[in-house]
Amino acid sequence: MPVQKFHSADGSKVERVVLSGPEGSSAEVYLFGATVTSWRSGGRERLFVSSLAKLDGSKPVRGGIPLVFPQFGPGDLPQHGFARTRRWTLFSAEEHGQGVVVNLQLKDDADTRASKWPFKFDLLYTIDLTATTLSTVLRIENVDSQPFSFTSLMHTYLRVSDIATTAVGGLKGVVYADKVKGTSDQVEQRDEVTVAANEDRVYTNVPGIVTVTDGGEKISIRRFNYKDIVLWNPWAEKAAEMSDFANEEYPQMICVEAGTVAGSISLSPGQTISCGQILTAESTSANI
């Protein structure tokens, strides 16, 4: 079966969906938060999930691709909004010529309407797996009688062999805010951005493809209707502050997150927008 649904074995009744694609590719998504927790391509796991991550629905998953909606960061709602802590439903699943796709759905309910963001909405999240790609697309529809605005992001944790030899390309010349240093309107001067300390940057209006090179492997990130890229690694001091992140794990991950967070997206009643990314895995090793 290309798509299978499982109940958690820990008694928490958390459900997950496993996609089996061509050439040994696979993906896993938890219905709690619609969080993709695994993507295997080319015989490698491409996503990072902390060994201390809670997978029982008690809190957002630390790793994979948590969905940020309708609020990025702190604000009137809990951190990063409510989409990553709601139970989504499996809407549909099917094979296609190159792989397999599933659609998950989340609609407003009494709890969301009672929040500080009380609008009626319909979210459809499409996860499309092929041998070398993982596409994650979020369609947002305003089914309310009044307009609303939101920010959204795919908080992608990529697994790397060593953060010391990992480089992010495609950001040169882009303006960014450095949330660690408290500065803004900085311009990235490097062809390849490397990380050697706690980093939390918001690159705005990124023009093209962003790449993450890790030794002989590369992930390309193509975006549509997401203007910004967030770059994050907690490093040792911040990792020690998180109960669901093991102290020694930060060298094996980097967050390169596609979203629109420096500004907001507005939808009138009846309007729909689709935002997303396509992750492509490839080898850069000369002998392969």
Annotated binding-site members for substrate: 62, 79, 84
User: What 3-state class would DSSP assign to 113?
Assistant: helix
C-alpha separations of 171 from 55, 131, 189, 229 in Å: 33, 27, 8, 9
Q: Which amino acid is at 113?
A: R
Structure tokens at 226: 């997401």
Q: Report whether the peptide linkage leading into residue 70 is cis, meaning its omega lies within 30 degrees of zero.
A: yes
Q: Strand ranges (DSSP E) for 108-198?
A: 121-130, 133-142, 148-154, 157-159, 166-169, 175-178, 183-187, 192-193
Spot the catalytic one: 15, 28, 80, 155: 155
As separate numbers, helices (DSSP H) first and strands (DSSP E) second, the chain gives: 2, 22
Sequence ranges of the binding site: 62, 79, 84
DSSP 8-state symbol, 221? E
61: nearest Cα among 32, 89, 83: 32
User: What 3-state class would DSSP assign to 264?
Assistant: strand
Give the integer Cα–Cα distance in Å for 19 and 26: 5
Active site annotation includes 96: no
Give the integer Cα–Cα distance in Å for 7 and 21: 21
Spot the catalytic one: 28, 217, 249, 257: 257
Positions marked active-site: 155, 257
